[in-house]
């Protein structure tokens, strides 16, 4: 299951979510708290969105599998709204099923917000070569596209 967290849900998951942000963005230790505070403020005010994927185990407990952060930007030159995926973290590595589920959920929500494109920014800078070399074409196809 992949969901967009509401501002009232974010505090309950913040410590775990904060760690995934810091790791996925490779933030140096001396800047981690400042970075985390800014990201929390953006999420609570709606300037960015927190997403979470989880599975339900055999005991009915939810186990968080991945986190994603997005933000909507109006691109004046193109005259469109775009959703940027600025962080993505999976506990245990990349999973193409997870990427497909995340893509579908974000695309559906982005359309309701009037967005015309999805752009995966930072992730590509770091991982594009790795993903292409290891057969993750699905992710690369969704990385920069109009919806």
Q: Is 66 helix (H, G, I), strand (E, B) or coil?
A: strand
In sequence order, what E strands does 5-141 have?
49-56, 62-75, 80-90, 115-120
Q: 41 vs 11, 25, 36, 60, 85, CA distance in Å? A: 11, 17, 9, 32, 17
Q: How confident is the prediction for the chain on average, in pLDDT?
A: 81
- Note whether 104 and 142 are within 8 A (CB): no
CA atoms within 13 A on the CB side of 20: 24
Of the two residues 26 and 123, the one the predictor is more confident about is 26
pLDDT value of position 137: 45
pLDDT at 11 over 60: yes
The 10 Å Cβ neighbour count of residue 63 is 11
pTM over 0.75? The answer is yes
Average pLDDT of the residues in 17-42: 90
Question: Residue 121: which pLDDT band, with cuts at 50, 70 and 90?
Answer: low
């Amino acid at each position: 299951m992949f969901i967009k967290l509401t501002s009232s849900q974010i505090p309950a998951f913040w410590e775990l979510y904060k760690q995934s942000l810091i790791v996925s963005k490779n933030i140096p230790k001396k800047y981690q708290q400042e970075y985390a505070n800014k990201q929390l403020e953006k999420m609570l005010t709606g300037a960015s969105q927190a997403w979470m994927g989880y599975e339900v185990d055999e005991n009915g407990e939810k186990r968080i599998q991945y986190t994603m952060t997005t933000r909507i930007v109006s691109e004046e030159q193109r005259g469109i709204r775009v959703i940027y995926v600025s962080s993505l973290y999976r506990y245990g590595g990349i999973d193409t099923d997870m990427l497909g589920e995340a893509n579908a959920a974000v695309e559906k929500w982005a359309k309701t917000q009037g967005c015309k494109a999805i752009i995966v920014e930072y992730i590509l800078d770091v991982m594009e070569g790795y993903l292409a070399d290891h057969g993750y074409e699905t992710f690369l196809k969704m990385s920069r596209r109009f919806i």
